Chain A
């Protein structure tokens, strides 16, 4: 059971207020959608939850532990934020293996499973630099879901993916959610976001302006 509790979180970057007293609580077993225009603060909120952004005020509390006070980063998290970036000279598997080596506790079999689930061939010998945009995106998602961490944050995960791949990713995310994991997604595609999400937060000018519970047949 995971919980992210955000209390009065504010952040300014170069004088611009990008997060303004955000307060939400997210619990496991649900997919949370973040919706808003470009520059509304979705990505920054995700970065703050992932421990990448240091708040000016307020706090992000993960399972009772405050980020940047008790822990530097959430203990079990997978993220894909904006464009995925990997080492161009290595294959997808090798890239994930290097990252898994840092995380610890993720086997080669789990890496292969993650690649397979997003539609990438674990035995593919092509290096990352030869990947198409869609393959790069899939590798980013595979990195976020490998080892099935308790919290998964995905920023525009279906960008550059074809229809079939989108279906596959949606299925995988719903499967993971049903294992009592907490998933946060930002997506411009309203329809896809509503299909995947249990709760959608609308963000405007760095503030949460609306919360909407979605009832669909995914539950």
Chain B
């Protein structure tokens, strides 16, 4: 009950009052959808085909990320800006509000709410909800654009197009696999990264935690490995699609581990923290 009271306040001050950040997934989705739309047109024209596409095709394309990259000093590999900006958007959103709320209003709100653990848990739920809303905005934006482009209102994907565009490997990725690797794993891992960042913003500082998260995402773009969990937000680097890629199940396990660790350490930290 106390956590819910805190959460209501956090949703209002931390989310509604800062809703402008959700322009990032909106713009990201529109740009990716525009790109996808022109790809479909060229593809249909070149192959004399008429793929109608669905809203899910648009979303899956937007969230595809970037191909597996093998370190090569002669291969120039520019930082994938769209993907990076999308991930940085939610990290920025998470970075400052909780610590600011604590340092500026902590005395009043903690004494009024009378629970350190509830205050922290509220921030945890706020963080997870923010990630969900962020991805939801991206999905809805893709869906609206897709519908305007005449796509079907279906959560299924156009398998023939996916295989033709993404390649032969796509044959082995079922629809349910795609939901796991393109929807569930990226959302879970982003939420887990945000929770760790949330904890770091108190233990270190918001700026440091944001910088560390940025660094981790940059490294994830260049080096696909479980210890750079940003890699799991890129479904093209899933082992279901690329044999060198990451197992999505391990992504879920890592996300769960990160989340439990961040929540646990956060409670321990706040129960013993002086509010000065």
Residues of A bordering B, CB below 8 Å: 13, 47, 50-54, 68, 71-73, 75, 77, 79, 81, 85-87, 89, 98-104, 143
In the complex, are the beta carbons of A52 and B274 less than 8 A apart?
Answer: yes
Q: A79-B111, A102-B109 are in contact. Are A87 and B13 (CB under 8 A)?
A: yes
* Interface membership of B261, Cβ < 8 A: no
Once the chains are docked, how many angstroms separate the CA of A56 from the CA of B148? Answer: 64
12 further interface pairs, Cβ-Cβ under 8 Å (given A52-B275, A79-B111): A47-B274, A71-B114, A73-B111, A73-B114, A73-B115, A75-B114, A81-B107, A85-B104, A85-B107, A102-B109, A102-B112, A104-B5
Q: How far is the CA of A71 from the CA of B276 in the complex (A)?
A: 19
B-chain residues with CB within 8 Å of residue A102 when the two chains form the complex? 2, 5-6, 9, 109, 112-113
> A191 to nearest B CB, angstroms?
28
Q: Give me the 8 closest cross-chain CB pairs, A-B, nearest first.
A: A102-B112, A52-B275, A102-B113, A73-B114, A99-B112, A103-B112, A53-B274, A85-B104
- Determine the distance from Cα of A71 to Cα of B113 in the docked complex, in whole angstroms: 12
Q: Are A101 and B5 in contact (CB under 8 A)?
A: yes
* Max chain B Cβ within 10 angstroms of own Cβ: one of A73, A89, A100: A73
- For chain B, the count of residues having a C-beta within 8 Å of the partner chain is 26
Bound-state Cα–Cα, A86 to B144, Å: 40
Q: Given the complex of chains A and B, what is the CA–CA distance between A207 and B257 in angstroms?
A: 46
Q: How far is the CA of A99 from the CA of B112 in the complex (A)?
A: 6
Q: How many A-B residue pairs have CB under 8 A?
A: 65
Q: Which residue of B lies closest to A81 (CB)?
A: B107
Contact B275 A47 (CB under 8 A): yes
Beyond A101-B5, A102-B112, whether A52 also contacts B105 by CB under 8 A is no
Known contacts: A101-B5, A102-B9. The answer to whether A54 contacts B272 by CB under 8 A is yes
- Complex Cα distance, B108 from A52, in Å, reads 10
Contacts of A50 in B (CB 8 A): 107, 111
Partner of B110, one of A54, A73, A85, A104: A73
